[in-house]
């Protein structure tokens, strides 16, 4: 009689044990995932800044007028890779959808929540190209540095 009772209680225990194992596996997975993201962010080299903005941040400020020569000189050749990255960036479908929604929102809402304004990729790309041109004009060792910029831009789709 005990064998029948143990057989009936055993499947329930395995179902609960499997459920507990799956729950534990999920917890461990998310714990490892969060730690990996935090570790990646911590170990990532900080980007250089000027007046609190990175290279990409300066490219986003297209409405503030022409780029200051101090900005170009401060970042120097280290900005080339990031500028090429900005030029090569493409607009995702989500970006396009947000831009469409943003254009249909009332002006009062746009002014109040201007931080939510969509990223102007076209303007940022134009600023990055102007920055690269300024950089090429100002280089002291024109051939090697110009070659590096042009070589990097060669791989960018129009």
> By three-state DSSP, how is residue 53 classified?
strand
What whole-number percentage of the chain has pLDDT above 70? 75
| Rounded distance between C-alpha atoms, residue 94 and residue 116, angstroms | 14
List, for residues 32-58, the tens digit of each pLDDT value: 999 888 888 778 777 778 888 888 777
- Scan for tokens 């990031």, then name that residue: 82
| Rounded distance between C-alpha atoms, residue 43 and residue 153, angstroms | 28
Q: b/e per residue, 12-21, with b = 16+ CB within 10 A?
A: eeeeeeeeee
| Rounded distance between C-alpha atoms, residue 95 and residue 102, angstroms | 10
List, for residues 62-96, the tens digit of each pLDDT value: 555 666 777 777 777 777 777 877 777 777 888 88
């Amino acid at each position: 009689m005990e064998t029948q009772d143990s057989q009936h209680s055993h499947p329930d225990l395995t179902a609960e044990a499997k459920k507990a194992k799956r729950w534990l596996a999920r917890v461990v997975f998310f714990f490892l995932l969060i730690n990996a993201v935090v570790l990646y962010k911590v170990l990532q080299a900080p980007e250089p800044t000027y007046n609190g903005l990175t290279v990409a941040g300066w490219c986003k400020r297209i409405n503030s007028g022409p780029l200051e020569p101090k900005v170009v000189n401060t970042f120097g050749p280290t900005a080339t890779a990031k500028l090429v990255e900005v030029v090569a960036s493409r607009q995702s479908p989500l970006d396009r959808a947000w831009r469409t929604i943003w254009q249909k929102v009332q002006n009062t809402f746009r002014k109040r929540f201007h931080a939510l304004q969509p990223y102007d990729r076209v303007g940022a790309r134009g600023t990055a190209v102007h920055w690269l041109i300024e950089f090429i004009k100002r280089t002291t060792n024109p051939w090697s540095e110009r070659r590096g910029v042009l070589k990097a831009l060669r791989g960018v789709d129009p």
